[in-house]
Structure 1
Amino acid sequence: MVQVSLERQQLIGVKFGQVERKSIEKLIRTVGRIDYDEKRLVTISPKIGGWIEELYVNFTGKYVRQGEPLLTIYSPELVSAQEEYLIALRTAKALGDHDFLVESAKRRLKLWDISDEQIKELEQRGQVAKTLTLHSPFTGFVLERMAFKGMNVMPGMALFKLADLSTVWLYADIYEYELPLIRLGQEALIELSYYPGDFFRGQVIYIYPYLDQTTRTAKIRFQFPNPRGQLKPGMYANVQIKIPLGTKLVVPEEAIIDTGERQIAILDRGSGYFEPRPVKLGPKVDNYYVVLEGLKEGERLVTSANFLIDSESKLKEALGGMGGMHEHGSMGKESKQ
């Protein structure tokens, strides 16, 4: 314990704060990059070989809806399959008990993604269609187009790559010491420089199980609804994650002296007496530290000039130690005499 007169307190500018309980929340800020939702990417490939006769989606970036025609394809195999189906229909109609032939021929058409509607049109028409129209099974934007008019295609060949942007992902890096606060399902807010003042709400959907050894950060994946298409892959955004920590015992940041080995607070004991006390601290939230051990609610602390008081306390301890050594040395001389 060290004593500092009121005059000296005023001279060195001593100020005070208090240990208190308050409801706090941790705000984590970072920068993220918007990307495609991998679950909403699709590659469109034909199940039959042939030649592209008409191309309806002929540029990258075009928006297509589910069921919209993409292209027409001429396939000798498809022509043969249609002929087999029509022959099976005529045979079943003429002989009566040959439905299994119809079902077998129909099943073959369906395996090539011929819709029930197209099969019904074939039945009504009674004639083979030279080409098959390939429809989009998905709604989205064309990211890649590998199809060209007149091109020969093989089964399984990628013709289009589509992305649905109604939901997007965002990747951000979180520092190692902040990771214990991150949980799946936590809400996050992002703001774009392109839309100042507008915030978009999303949530944490995945925490990567490893750290970047250079930056000591972990990658976090967020998911954001994007009904109006304002969030575009490649954009950067400012990310905020607010984490309620409940009601905690806290002290002002200025009240703590960090020596590198321990944290110390200077308590006001009244009548000019001050006590340096080691404390154990939790996370720093805004301008406060959470107190885990060493302090009680209502205790008064020095928040300004605490370094000077701590120095005086250490000087007093050092002088006391030197006094003890001097006294011990004098006693040794007397005993020799």
Structure 2
Amino acid sequence: MPKNFCLTITLMITVLFIFSCSQQEKAEMEPSVSEKRETISGDTSGMDEHAAHTPTEKDETASEDTMSSMDGHADHTAMVAPSDGEKTIRYWTCVMHPTVKMPEPGSCPVCKMDLIPIYEGSGLELTEQQKALIPVRTEPVAFREVSREIRTVGILDYNETRMAYASTRISGWIEDLHIDFTGINVREGDELLSIYSPELVTAQEEYLTALKSIEELQNTEYAELRRSVEQTVAAAKSKLELYGLTLEQIKDIRNRGKVSTILPLFAPMAGTVVHMNVAQGQHVNQGMNLYRIVDLNSLWIMADVYEYELPWIYMGQAVEIATQSMPGLTFPGKVTYIYPFFDTQTRTQKVQIEVSNPTGRLRPGMFVTLEIKPTLADIYTQGAISKAPYACPMHPWVTSEHPTECEICGMDLESTHADVVEVESASDAEGKWVCPMHPEVRSAEFGECSICGMDLVEKQATTETSAHSHVHQHAPAPSVQADQPPLIFKYVCPDHPDEYATVPGLCSRDGKSLVMTGEVLTIPKSAVIDTGLRKIVFVDRGESGYEQIEVEVGPEAWGTSSDSETKRRYYPIVSGLTPGDMVVTHGNFLIDSQTQLTGSASGAYGGALGGEGSKVPVHQH
């Protein structure tokens, strides 16, 4: 009990001590608070005194500088006029809520923040501090030669147009087998084997009997009987021809008057025996394929090309071919056919490539790597190149009707067809028959192509106004297909390369025809912002800021800039920009974000930042 009483007394004393200390601290703070209040009231009175004199000074100044006609609008002008008198405010918006657009200044109805002005014009101006924070880089819109590298793989295969089967037209037994293994090279007309056939013996006996009968009736008076025997001789001879005997063999049988018990089988073409379906003493039936002979001097490659690479492939395109068995060595080839169907399983297109193999180092079945390097100029000028007999190997769009030199690089123009050595005159071309699939196959009279068997067509003679005319027929404009956008190519005068045009025409100095250089107007891919519906770039307009422009571009390609040899991705320009425009290549996404904050991107993106019918204004030059 005494112990609890002592604890209670001690607790009460402690509480009283704390209470007395707090009262003393409060008494000491009251004088300092009163002093601060007096100081604040003094400052306020000073401000009130300054405010009392300020309107008087402003009124005096305004009365000296303004006209009486503007007195009624003085308050409104002071409220909406921007700091720069040359700019006009479009509307007031909120930094946090760009969808808020008010005609007058005030507070945001959503977050109560002060509204900021948005001025007329699509350019976005950045302060020096913003430019330091945003590493903006620009590049000029310029002409450059761009290309595309397509790499794919394929397998070497036989050329189907240079393949033939050796088959028998009669049944019999193999008497002599001269070609008894595959891989042997044969010439056209070489004897492959000989067949003993009772059917052939019977047909020969019928032919010899008919010949004897016609000799016996040589002096007969029965003309009808003689005519019947002559028809029998013709029928027996035709039967031997159907069995595969040549006219020389039939003539030999007639001269000897004896039956030949064997029939030789000859090679239908020169080449290599790649398949054999016969053995010594074997019985063969009529129509049986005994040999397959292929000319390995020309091979095919079946390559797979992806769908997005199809616009870069065309007939006659040059291809570089490499194989692992011969590293460092490439073989030239060309695209000879693009199949009209698409593989839905692999999403690829089959392309047939032909490669010459005179040395036999390429073997059917080998895996090869293919590389195609087309330029945009090659793709867009194929129509002009195919019509001209001569073209530059380095600049194929430079063409001519006569063998001369390229006006760009000085190289001799080469024939667009391997068989054309010189330009044929109208008299030389008359009566010529050519194959539509193989122009190198020509004949003086109508017949069939020796390669594919198609009927030859007559080549029309092309008359010239002057036999010695050497006027160069350059491609007047890129031969653009319907599914290709019209790009902006560069045309220059051969004698004055400093002057150029974007359309074909004549030089303003000497009147010569402008030559297409192969360069196209391009911008770096990094400068383009793809919104999904359209493509946007930002152009540096100097003091006017960064202007947002909608552009139309062509297929993506690779090229080099003027200050670096490193290849980069570029877009060829169809519309929206002109040479020399400075486009933003780095920092454009940050600029785009800033335009969204200020609301200037609403016309480009639509949606929450703009109305349903809002469109970005197309920049017209």
- Fold match by TM threshold 0.5: yes
Q: 2:217 aligns with which of 74, 85, 95?
A: 95
Q: Relative to total residues, which structure has the larger strand share, 1 or 2?
A: 1
Alpha-carbon distance in structure 2 between the residues aligned to 1:259 and 1:194: 48
In percent, how many aligned pairs have the same letter? 41
Is the partner of 1:275 in helix, strand or coil?
strand
Q: Counterparts in 2 of 1:172-187, with a 5 A limit?
A: 172-187=303-318
Q: Counterparts in 2 of 1:122-133, with a 5 A limit?
A: 122-133=253-264
When residues 114 and 200 of structure 1 are mapped into structure 2, their CA distance, relative to the original with a 3 A threshold, is same
User: What is the CA distance between 1:5 and its match in structure 2?
Assistant: 4.3
Alpha-carbon distance in structure 1 between the residues aligned to 2:317 and 2:149: 12
Q: Counterparts in 2 of 1:180-259, with a 5 A limit?
A: 180-195=311-326, 196-205=328-337, 207-246=338-377, 247=489, 248-259=520-531
The answer to whether the 8 A contact 1:203-1:224 is kept is: no
User: What is the CA distance between 1:46 and its match in structure 2?
Assistant: 0.9
The answer to whether the 8 A contact 2:299-2:364 is kept is: yes
Alpha-carbon distance in structure 2 between the residues aligned to 1:210 and 1:145: 33
- The letter for the 1-side match of 2:521 is L
Alpha-carbon distance in structure 1 between the residues aligned to 2:256 and 2:138: 93
The answer to whether the 8 A contact 2:167-2:290 is kept is: yes
The answer to whether the 8 A contact 2:165-2:268 is kept is: no
Alpha-carbon distance in structure 2 between the residues aligned to 1:54 and 1:188: 46
User: What is the CA distance between 1:17 and its match in structure 2?
Assistant: 0.8
Is the partner of 1:108 in helix, strand or coil?
helix
Q: 1:306 aligns with which of 581, 585, 588?
A: 588
Is the partner of 2:591 in helix, strand or coil?
helix
CA deviations over 1:197-231 (Å, ceiling 9, x no partner)? 423122232x3333233432222223333333333
CA deviations over 1:149-181 (Å, ceiling 9, x no partner)? 111111112222222223322212222223244
Q: Counterparts in 2 of 1:6-17, with a 5 A limit?
A: 6=128, 9=131, 12-17=134-139
Query: Who wins on radius of gyration, i.e. which is larger?
Result: 2
Alpha-carbon distance in structure 2 between the residues aligned to 1:314 and 1:227: 65
Alpha-carbon distance in structure 2 between the residues aligned to 1:54 and 1:145: 15
Partner of 1:58: 180
User: What is the CA distance between 1:278 and its match in structure 2?
Assistant: 3.0
Alpha-carbon distance in structure 1 between the residues aligned to 2:543 and 2:143: 26
Partner of 2:570: 288
Q: 2:302 aligns with which of 144, 158, 171?
A: 171
Alpha-carbon distance in structure 2 between the residues aligned to 1:41 and 1:5: 75
Alpha-carbon distance in structure 2 between the residues aligned to 1:140 and 1:197: 25
User: What is the CA distance between 1:74 and its match in structure 2?
Assistant: 0.6
User: What is the CA distance between 1:136 and its match in structure 2?
Assistant: 1.3
Gaps of at least 5 residues in structure 1 are 321-337
Alpha-carbon distance in structure 2 between the residues aligned to 1:48 and 1:235: 38
Bigger RCO (CA 8 Å, 6+ sep): 1
RMSD: 2.8
Partner of 1:139: 270
The answer to whether the 8 A contact 2:320-2:330 is kept is: no
Is the partner of 2:555 in helix, strand or coil?
strand
Gaps of at least 5 residues in structure 2 are 1-122, 219-225, 378-488, 490-519, 559-568, 603-621
User: What is the CA distance between 1:6 and its match in structure 2?
Assistant: 4.9
The answer to whether the 8 A contact 1:191-1:200 is kept is: no
Q: Which moved more, 1:146-155 or 1:132-141?
A: 132-141
- The letter for the 2-side match of 1:103 is A
Is the partner of 1:313 in helix, strand or coil?
helix
Alpha-carbon distance in structure 2 between the residues aligned to 1:77 and 1:126: 18
Q: What's the TM-score, normalizing by structure 1?
A: 0.83
User: What is the CA distance between 1:47 and its match in structure 2?
Assistant: 0.9
* Count of matched residue pairs: 319
CA deviations over 1:51-78 (Å, ceiling 9, x no partner)? 1111111112222221111111111111
When residues 317 and 192 of structure 1 are mapped into structure 2, their CA distance, relative to the original with a 3 A threshold, is same
- The letter for the 2-side match of 1:202 is K
- Structure 1 runs of 4+ aligned residues shifted over 6 Å read none
When residues 171 and 53 of structure 1 are mapped into structure 2, their CA distance, relative to the original with a 3 A threshold, is same
User: What is the CA distance between 1:93 and its match in structure 2?
Assistant: 3.5
Alpha-carbon distance in structure 2 between the residues aligned to 1:259 and 1:215: 29
Partner of 1:277: 549
User: What is the CA distance between 1:297 and its match in structure 2?
Assistant: 1.8
Q: Which moved more, 1:83-92 or 1:156-165?
A: 83-92
The answer to whether the 8 A contact 2:343-2:349 is kept is: yes
Alpha-carbon distance in structure 2 between the residues aligned to 1:175 and 1:220: 10
CA deviations over 1:210-269 (Å, ceiling 9, x no partner)? 323343222222333333333332223333344443323210122223344543222112
Partner of 2:385: none
When residues 181 and 151 of structure 1 are mapped into structure 2, their CA distance, relative to the original with a 3 A threshold, is same
The answer to whether the 8 A contact 2:318-2:332 is kept is: no
User: What is the CA distance between 1:296 and its match in structure 2?
Assistant: 2.0
Alpha-carbon distance in structure 1 between the residues aligned to 2:344 and 2:237: 58
Q: What's the TM-score, normalizing by structure 2?
A: 0.47
User: What is the CA distance between 1:31 and its match in structure 2?
Assistant: 2.2
Alpha-carbon distance in structure 2 between the residues aligned to 1:204 and 1:25: 21
The answer to whether the 8 A contact 1:202-1:225 is kept is: no
The answer to whether the 8 A contact 1:45-1:160 is kept is: yes
- The letter for the 2-side match of 1:177 is Y
Is the partner of 1:149 in helix, strand or coil?
coil
Is the partner of 2:334 in helix, strand or coil?
strand
Alpha-carbon distance in structure 1 between the residues aligned to 2:554 and 2:375: 14
The answer to whether the 8 A contact 2:314-2:335 is kept is: no
User: What is the CA distance between 1:19 and its match in structure 2?
Assistant: 1.0
Is the partner of 2:153 in helix, strand or coil?
strand
Alpha-carbon distance in structure 1 between the residues aligned to 2:363 and 2:129: 64
Is the partner of 1:58 in helix, strand or coil?
coil
